Each structure stands twice: as structure tokens, then as C-alpha cells.
Amino acid sequence: MSIEYLGLSEINGPLIVLEGVQGAAYDEIVELTVEGNKHKLGRIVEIYEDKAVIQVFEGTEEMSLKNTHTKLTGHPMEIALSEDILGRVFSGIGEPIDGLGPIISDVKKDVNGEPLNPYTREYPRNFIKTGISTIDCLTTLIRGQKLPIFSGNGLPHDQLAAQIVRQASLGSDSDEEFAIVFGAMGLKHDVAEFFRRTFEESGASSHVVMFLNLANDPVVERLITPKVALTAAEYLAFEKGMHILVVLTDMTSFAEAMREVSSSKGEIPSRKGYPGYLYSELATIYERAGIIKGSKGSVTQIPILTMPNDDITHPIPDLTGYITEGQIVLERALHQKAIYPPINVLPSLSRLMKDGIGEGYTREDHQDLANQLFSSYARVGDARALASVIGEDELSPIDKKYLQFGTAFENEFISQGLMEDRSIEDTLNLGWKLLAILPREELDRVDTKILDKYYHTSTADETSSSEA
Amino acid sequence: MNLTGTIYGINGPIVYLKGNLGFKMSEMVLVGKEKLVGEVIALTKDTTTIQVFEETTGLKPGEEVVATGSAISVTLAPGIIGNIFDGIERPLKEIAKQSGAFISRGVNVDSLDTKKLWDVHITVSEGDKIYGGTIIAETRETRAIVHKSMVPPTVNGTVIKVVPDGQYTINDPLVTIRNDQGEEQELTLTQKWPIRIPRPTTKRYAADRPLVTGQRILDTLFPIAKGGTAAIPGGFGTGKTMTQHQLAKWCDADIIVYIGCGERGNEMTEVLEDFSKLVDPKSGNPLLDRTTLIANTSNMPVAAREASIYTGITLAEYYRDMGYHVAIMADSTSRWAEALRELSGRLEEMPAEEGFPAYLASRLSAFYERAGFMSNLNGTEGSVSIIGAVSPQGGDFSEPVTQNTKRFVRCFWALDKSLAYARHFPAIQWLTSYSEYVSDLTPWYTKNVGSNFIDLRNQLISLLTQESQLNEIVKLIGSDVLPDDQKLVLEIARVVRLGFVQQNAYHPSDTYVPLEKQLKMMETIMHLYEQCKKLIAMNMPMTLLKENDIFEKIISIKYDVANDELDKFNDYKKAIDDFYNHLLETNA
């Protein structure tokens, strides 16, 4: 079985070409030995008869056309899995790097995964409390959802993700098992360290599996890291019945790696040099979230991506938004006003929230309140634009109210402490308190009955004092 | 015997075979040991190129490829409605039985249940002359749909034997004919049809009756005809899928074909769950009884995504041939276009705009032209309406898919990001959307809804247009300085936006609104406008008018008047008149 081929016929960036191969399969993993002592892994990405194009995960440094031995493994990329992976740290291709030895298990899974049959999916409906007002009230996270954070360089997306992980994991009072899978692609060392410390401090590190491809690790390895992480997540969720929160960061590095490899393969680029299959590739990652009928566990994904030049129409955030079930968008302007978390609520969205909130889940007024906050805050933008032209003094009384509401909304509702864990009751009441700044006839998104019950009743005194 | 070849090269979903093997274009082939389904897409003297509808991981050069002799086709027989298929008509339920929660490769399943016994009523008798399209048997497929099995379009002859009514499977011979060539031929409930070829019809009718959707902004402002085509372009989060779901739930087609092309898995699950619970208000049956789903989610193989659109429209044409009105929801055609681009890139074809192949436009037009209100071969009338979602990159409508789609559809429902941000749904931007069907449908509306319907519609549009022009001024100098008649336009336009154009899909009486109520709502709003105009003409200031809560009252008509309480509108008319008289008395 294990024929070794000596030598290569071409090396081009991360790709090598091997000729005269027998019985090689598409997508098969090969083991490479360089100078007899360095081991690397590669994947066959194209075959023409006896000529295989191989993508080398650990980079092609030190390889020459003569010093490399290649061995076919006969299977696609696989990782060994067992419950022992909890608390461990692996490299971007799933090899232990914490010095605790390999995972011994009979369970080996193909990291490419298989598409989840829509017929066997269960539609996600369970609300995950994060303790962050903007997320809980306006872009509710649902168990089994994929909800990315669209951020920019220098914005506190890591802190936000850490806070979500910390509060979502500890906030649950049920005895269901919970674990975190952390996949890092091209992450800075400090950031990886920040996450490791956060998990430790919150006492969750025995429930965390980390897959780290750091910024100085080989680029090609990044292409496989999210797949390895999600394979581990699927195993823990659907075979061990655990609720898994997957944090993937930074998806931009993943897409950049794809562009790099694609261009060295000489493929025809589509938008901004990214390959035409960027959408399909991203989809095979993001779609690996959800709940299966009859299975106890779930996979919830929070991918983080930094928008190049803060541009939400850049292909990476754009294609991501078309696949994921909503997005949380961070904004630099809010960050500069020292508001944390700087979530711009208007472009943020959770597509699954409609079925996971309201009576029986959170509270009856949740949907109406959220709609009204969105609508009123959108009006704030108009009022501000007008004020910048004609000056604040010239605004109509109602526009002035909107300005007042906007400031209060940003400072009290959006802004909260890094360690502050608000209950859903508090968040909703806070929303009503802020809406009380506006006159009742401006609240056109709320059912009359809900308005009678929640508007002013609990908030009248605070409003009058704030207006005084 | 079937032709065979051996694999030479593999690149993603594309497989190359060496040599001129005699394979035909668009022929279905079985690739490799696992017999993966594929299709021939290019032939040269030296190479045969195949696209494979499943993952090619593990495929090796040297494995065998077998030609099946027939083009990629769908199986047409009872059992389609209420079912969920992948892009090449393999039932996902059966796949789940065989391979569990995840879809594995090389699963061999029949498209339709071949063991189920259907109650069949034969509608032809011995000696009858039959032609392509003649209905030979009727089967109750679901509570809502009677399946009419037809003679395949290319077959003519005389019936020489029929079986009695009774229980049969879809493969049992029912009718024996002597065809025009003098041969005996057995007909069953089943026929096959290649997905890339439109099913023949005799004539195309003008689009003169609307596909009623119960969505005010569509029915009133931008209506679509039965047999019409519409595009819904919008960036992510603007509500394309939501609009498609609303249409699939409430539009007055007999059958819905819902194609989830490269979209989210959870969305298909949602349709499946929701539609089996929701009840069709017209027939009282679950909506799933009139719906068939094609689910090729974004992580399923890309070649099958390209095929799913054709599979869907072929199923729709088949039901049209029975005399039904069918509506297709294609969500999203951009994913299909991107599948074309991806395959084209793998084939190393010369790209046109943004990497899309140059034949994008001709493929799009060929697809949309398969819609229409038709006279079928058997004399019945039916229609296929296509509503395609478009997901423009970066929400930018100037990209090739949106622009080319715009050339071939007659309704354009443009979704707008800023409306969606303010949670104004449906986020259809009234200034950039259009429908070319308005004039075709005017006679129908005049006759069946009200002679003033189209007139009122035009007044609404004009109000909204005036509002946007006034807003330009307001943006510069504020609204206080406008004269009172313009302030009134702004106020009434607000009533139109909030009380009419905006519609709440989650509110029981607002999710679907019949045309009669749409008319009454328009009449009431315009009545308010007329009365206010008179007051303003008498120099009453707008601030005085706004002291009254009549505007808010009219806005909440959509919630306060249920669809079966249309006589309540008289109270609103009276309330408006009271408001008018009251102001007149106290301030004149």
C-alpha cells in the first residue's frame, strides 16, 4: 500500500506537483518527508491521470525537487476525536501543541464533513442569554444559529466575543453540558493569549478546545483550521449531546489564504481576486451549525471577521452575510465615542430571533419593543443629519426629542460594562424607559395593548425627572 | 450496451475523460465506483467534460464512467407535492433514511415512492384516440391537488386496453396504446422529462389576470400577472426570503414550487415546518399540500445547485400542463449564477463581467421565458409564474446578475437597505420598483375589484413621489418652513407608508389582506386627504389638524379591522367626516 515517491516535478508557492502517481484520489491527504526528518501534510487538489497537484499545509520551505518523499494515505483529512479533546490545545490542522500527547481514539472523522440534510434539521428556537442588551434585545442569539461579528481592525470584537462566551456559558442554569470550540486563523499571538486567559479566568478552560493557527503559522494551514474545529464541534454536539459554541476568528484571514492559494493555482479570479468558489467554501463552513432532530446537542457559531477598510460591501463580509443568519456589526464611530460594545444596531440583525422571543421565551413585548427601538433609532440618524445642516437649535421639538433619545440610547442601552451581565427583564425595561423620552404617538410599531401596558407605567417618574 | 469511459482528470466538481467516447451533450452519466450522478457539459475530439452533482472527494483517475443514454431528467408522477428534494430530484427524506442526518455520497434512491399504491381513476377507454398531453388517469395526490397523469408530449395513438379503476403504483402499466408507428406501448402514471428543455404547449396567452398575493405593496402598487415574472433584488437582511415566504404562503396559485438554491439549511427547515402547520385560508388544507420544495443548500454540491433551478421549473411546467396555476419561488437566482461562474472558472472559460461567463444573460433569459400563461396540449389552461430573488454583491444593483435579470423580468421589486434598517417591511422601495403589468391588469382590476382601484393606486404613488421630493427640501431647511398644503402631503404620505405600504407578516389580520380591503383602505386614506385638503384651503394650520388623533387611527386600520369586518370602514369614513365637521364648527 504505502509506496513512497521520491522527488517532485514542480514547487510553486504552497503547491507541489508530483508525477507518476498511481491510485491517488481527489482530496486525499499525503504525508511528505523532507530530508528524512521533517514531516508535513498535503492535500491533493487536482489530478490529471498520473499527475497530482498537492497543496502543502505547513508551507514548502526547505523543500526541493529532490529531497522530498511523498506517501499517499488513502483517505481525506481526518482527525482523531474523543471527549479527551476538551481542555486541550491543537495546531491549525489538529495536532496537539500543548505537550500532553496525542489523542488516542478509534473515532476518526473526515474534516470536510457532509452537508446536513435540511429534512433532518430542527429549526432553532431556543434563546441564548448573553447579558448584553443590544444582542439580547435587538439581535437575539439562538441556539443553533450562526451569527457573525462584523468588525474592523482595532475594534473590541475579541472582548465582545469573550464576553458572550463568558456570560452565555455561565448564565445557563440548566444541567445541560456546554463546551466551547475555539478556532483561530492567522490570529496574533497576543489575541490568542487573551482568549486563553479569558477562558481560564472564567473557569471554563476544561470545557474549551482550541485550534490555533497563529499569524506566523503557514497560510495554507488556515484553510483547514475551521473545518477541523467544526468537525470537533459536530462530534461533541451530535455524538456526545453537548451544546457547543464555536468561535472562529478571523474569517478574513481564511478568505485571504484562499485567494493566495487560488492565485498560485492559476485560477480565474472573480471579485477582487477571490476565487469564484469563495461563496461555496464559506458556506461549507457556516452551514455546519444547527440542531438535528432527535439529537440532544447543538452547534452555535460566532465567526468573527474584520472588514477590510471597514467596508461591509467587501466580498468577505458580503458573502458571509448572505450565508449566516444575521450579523452583529461593530462601528468605529461608536467606539470613538468610548461606547462599549460599539454595536451599530441598524445593520445588525438576527434572522432567527422572531421565533425564539416573545411570550413563553422572553417576554410578550420583546418583538414590538425591538421593532420600535430600531425604527426610532433610525429616525435619530435623520434628525442628526438635519441638525448638521441647519443646526440643532432650528430643529422641530420632535426632532430634538429624537436627538435626546439617540444620546440616551447610546449611553445607557448600547453601552455597558465588560463584566456587566444584564437580565432580559432589565434590558427590556431599559428599552421602555428610553422610549418614554418620545411622545406616545411616535411609537407606531407597537401594538396598542402592549403600549398601554408598558409605555410610561413603570417609567413615568424617571422620564419627568430626566426632562426637568 | 451503454458507453463507458475512464476518468483522466479531476478538478473539484469537474471530471475529464480522455478521448472521443460517443457521449452526448447533457447526457446523464454515473461516475466512479460510487456511481455519482453527473452530466456531460462539453465534448471535444480529445476530451469529454463532466460535471458531477456530488462531492468528488476520493475519486481516482482510472475509475469507470458509464453513460445512461438519456439526458438529465426528472421523474414526473404522483408524490411530488408535499415532498422535499435535492437539486436533481432525489428525495431528502429517503436520503435521510439511508444515510442519516448528513447527506453522504452515492446514495441510490428513487425520486418518487415506487411502492406506494395510489387510488387511480382512469379517464380514457378503449378505442379513444389520444395525443400528447391527453389525461389518462386522475389520482388524489394530496387533499388539495388532483394529479392528472398525461400522455407524454411526444406520444400519439389509440387506446387498445385499459385497467379498471383501483390501486396502482406509479410504475404499473395502466393504459396500452397502439402508437402511430403501429407499436404497442404501455403507459403508466410516470413520465420522464429532460430538465433543460421546456415542455411544449400550443399557445401563450396575454398576461391579463393578477397573481393575488395579499401583500398590499405588491397587489396594489406593483402587481404581477399569472404567468408573469418578477425579480426581488436586495442585499442581505433586506427580506428577500421573507417576501418569498409570504408569497409562497398567501398567493393564489394552485401549486407552489419553492427552490432553495444555494441558501440556508435552516430556512428550508423553516418552510418545511411552517408549511405543514399553516393552513391555506382558501382550501383549509395545510400549505404543504400544495407545495413542493427543492432544497439545494449552500453547502451542497455546486453542480446540483445549477441544476436545481431547471428541476424546479420542469416540475412546475408539468403541473401547468394539468391545468394548474403554478408559482415558482427561486431563492436565489444569484447563487445559481454563481454556480455557473464557479463551473465556468473550473472549465477555464473566458470570463465576461466580474468573472461571470458570457452566456449568463442567455441562460437567465431562457429560464425566465419558461414562465407564461399557456394553452396546454390537452386544451387546459395553466400558468407558471416565476418570482426570483436576486442577491446582488454588496447590495449594488449595477452588478451583472441584477442587470441581466432586469432585462428579462417585467416586475422589479427592489428591496432597500435603509427601509430594512428602520424595520419597515416589506422593504420594497416604491420609488425604484416597477411593474410592467399594471396596464395589462387594469381591465381586470376595474371589473373585479372596483372601477376606482387603479386611479387610487396612481394617486398613492404620486403622493409617495411628492413626499420624496419634499423630503429633499426638508433635509436642507427642516419641515417647519413648508407651507401647510405640503405639510399635509407629508402627513398623508406618512399615513400611506405606515398604514398601507408597511405590512406586518406576523400579525394575524395583516399578514394577508384581500383586494377588497386594500381598496377600502385606499379609499379611506384618500378620503382623509380630500377632507384635510379642504380644511387647509380654508387656511386652517396643519398643527391644528394634527391635534386630532385621526391620522393615527387611520394608520392602525390594518390591525384594527379584521379581513372579514369590512363594514367597519363606514365608521372610519364617519370618523373622518366628524373630524372635518368638528374642525369646521370650532374654527370657521
Domain match, A252 and A391 both: no
The nearest CA of chain B is from the CA of A314 a distance in Å of 7
DSSP assigned state of B88: T
Domain match, A207 and A325 both: yes
Inter-chain touch B102–A123, beta carbons under 8 Å? no
State the count of interchain CB pairs (< 8 A) between A and B. Answer: 222
- Give the class (CATH, top level) of B203-438: alpha beta
Inter-chain touch B60–A23, beta carbons under 8 Å? yes
Sign of CA dihedral B129, B133, B139, B140: negative
Indicate if the pLDDT at residue B84 is higher than 90.
Answer: yes
The nearest CA of chain A is from the CA of B444 a distance in Å of 34
DSSP assigned state of B561: S
Indicate if the pLDDT at residue B1 is higher than 70.
Answer: no
Interstrand relation of B229-233 and B411-412 (parallel, antiparallel or unpaired): parallel
Closest among B432, B394, B391, B427 to B411, alpha carbons compared: B432
Of A271, A349, A386, nearest to B355 by CB-CB distance is A271
N residues, chain B: 588
Closest among A238, A230, A239, A290 to A106, alpha carbons compared: A239
Residue A12 lies in a domain: yes
Q: What are the chain B neighbours of A314 within 8 Å (beta carbons)?
A: 394
| Three-class SS of B3-25 | CEEEEEEEECCEEEEECCCCCCC
H runs (alpha helix) in A54-138? 133
Of A271, A277, A321, nearest to B237 by CB-CB distance is A321
Overall average pLDDT of the A434-446 stretch? 89
Amino acid at A222: R
Overall average pLDDT of the A413-435 stretch? 94
CATH number at residue A12: 2.40.30.20
Residue corresponding to grid cell 383501483: B166
Distances (CA, A) of B58 to A27, A53, B165: 6, 14, 50
The nearest CA of chain A is from the CA of B315 a distance in Å of 20
Residue-level pLDDT at A174: 60
Q: What is the mean pLDDT of chain B?
A: 93
Residue A361 lies in a domain: no
Closest among B273, B241, B239 to A291, alpha carbons compared: B273
Of A24, A314, A326, nearest to B60 by CB-CB distance is A24
Residue-level pLDDT at A171: 47
The nearest CA of chain A is from the CA of B232 a distance in Å of 15
Indicate if the pLDDT at residue A1 is higher than 60.
Answer: no
> From CA B100, how far away is CA A147, in angstroms rounded?
26
> From CA A120, how far away is CA B269, in angstroms rounded?
8
Which CATH code for domain B4-71?
A: 2.40.30.20
Domain match, A156 and A194 both: yes
The phi and psi torsions of B4 (rounded to 5 degrees) equal: -135, 165
Inter-chain touch B10–A390, beta carbons under 8 Å? no
Indicate if the pLDDT at residue B133 is higher than 60.
Answer: yes
> From CA A400, how far away is CA B569, in angstroms rounded?
36
- With beta carbons less than 8 A apart as the criterion, state whether A250 and A161 touch: no
Q: What are the chain A neighbours of B417 within 8 Å (beta carbons)?
A: 347
Domain match, A62 and A180 both: no
Overall number of domains in chain A: 3
Indicate if the pLDDT at residue B199 is higher than 50.
Answer: yes
| Helix (DSSP H) and strand (DSSP E) numbers for chain B | 17, 26
The nearest CA of chain A is from the CA of B265 a distance in Å of 5
pTM of the complete model: 0.91
Give the pLDDT band of residue A460 (cuts 50, 70, 90): very low
DSSP assigned state of A308: G
Residue-level pLDDT at A169: 63
Closest among B277, B315, B283, B278 to B144, alpha carbons compared: B283
Containing H/E element for A326?
strand A326-329
Inter-chain touch B103–A117, beta carbons under 8 Å? yes
Domain match, A26 and A115 both: no
> From CA B76, how far away is CA B170, in angstroms rounded?
10
Indicate if the pLDDT at residue A463 is higher than 80.
Answer: no
Of A113, A117, A325, nearest to B95 by CB-CB distance is A117
Interstrand relation of B73-76 and B118-122 (parallel, antiparallel or unpaired): unpaired
Inter-chain touch B345–A290, beta carbons under 8 Å? no
Q: What are the chain B neighbours of A290 within 8 Å (beta carbons)?
A: 265-266
Of B58, B268, B354, nearest to A270 by CB-CB distance is B354
Distances (CA, A) of A225 to A1, A187, A330, B431: 29, 12, 25, 46
Residue-level pLDDT at A122: 93
DSSP assigned state of B570: H
Inter-chain touch B96–A444, beta carbons under 8 Å? no
Indicate if the pLDDT at residue B19 is higher than 50.
Answer: yes
Rounded to 10°, the helix B453-477/B484-496 angle is 120
- With beta carbons less than 8 A apart as the criterion, state whether B326 and B319 touch: yes
How many CA within 13 A on the CB side of residue B318? Answer: 29
| Burial of B22 (C-beta count, 10 Å sphere; 0-12/13-18/19+) | exposed
Higher pLDDT, B508 or A210: A210
| End residue of a domain, out of A18, A42, A76 | A76
> What fold, for B113-189?
OB fold (Dihydrolipoamide Acetyltransferase, E2P) (2.40.50)
- With beta carbons less than 8 A apart as the criterion, state whether A93 and A125 touch: no
- With beta carbons less than 8 A apart as the criterion, state whether B334 and B391 touch: yes
Paired strand residues for A327: A349
Residue-level pLDDT at A175: 65
Domain that holds residue A308: 80-356
| End residue of a domain, out of A76, A103, A119 | A76
Domain match, A162 and A274 both: yes
Inter-chain touch A448–B556, beta carbons under 8 Å? yes
Amino acid at B384: V
Indicate if the pLDDT at residue A464 is higher than 70.
Answer: no
Indicate if the pLDDT at residue A465 is higher than 70.
Answer: no
**pLDDT tens, B335-351?**
999 999 988 888 888 88
Higher pLDDT, B570 or B476: B570
Domain match, A272 and A343 both: yes
Residue A430 lies in a domain: yes
Residue-level pLDDT at B184: 93
**pLDDT tens, B208-250?**
999 999 999 999 999 999 999 999 999 888 989 899 999 999 9
Nearest CA in chain A to B265: A118
Q: What are the chain A neighbours of B273 within 8 Å (beta carbons)?
A: 123
Of B99, B237, B269, nearest to A121 by CB-CB distance is B269
Grid coordinates representing A311 are 467596508
Higher pLDDT, A351 or A444: A351
**pLDDT tens, B287-341?**
999 999 999 999 898 889 999 999 999 999 999 999 999 999 999 899 999 999 9
Domain match, A201 and A248 both: yes
> From CA A353, how far away is CA A337, in angstroms rounded?
29
| End residue of a domain, out of A58, A76, A94 | A76
| ipTM surpassing 0.85 | yes
Residue A97 lies in a domain: yes
Higher pLDDT, B478 or B377: B377
Inter-chain touch A444–B341, beta carbons under 8 Å? no
Q: What are the chain A neighbours of B558 within 8 Å (beta carbons)?
A: none
Inter-chain touch B423–A270, beta carbons under 8 Å? no
In sequence order, which residues have a C-beta less than 8 Å from that of residue A203 and are 6 or more positions away?
none
**pLDDT tens, A347-362?**
999 999 988 888 888 8
Domain match, A423 and A320 both: no
Q: What are the chain A neighbours of B239 within 8 Å (beta carbons)?
A: none
Nearest CA in chain A to B18: A49
Residue-level pLDDT at A462: 45
Domain spanning B453-587: CATH 1.10.1140.10: yes
User: What is the full DSSP assignment across B342-355?
Assistant: HHHHHTTPPB-GGG
The nearest CA of chain A is from the CA of B553 a distance in Å of 10
Nearest CA in chain A to B476: A389
Closest among B205, B230, B132 to B381, alpha carbons compared: B205
Distance of CA A15 to the CA centre of its chain: 29
In sequence order, which residues have a C-beta less than 8 Å from that of residue A417 and are 6 or more positions away?
A340
Residue A161 lies in a domain: yes
- With beta carbons less than 8 A apart as the criterion, state whether A253 and A309 touch: no
Domain match, A347 and A269 both: yes
Q: Where in chain B is the domain with CATH 2.40.50.100?
A: 113-189
> From CA B392, how far away is CA B232, in angstroms rounded?
10
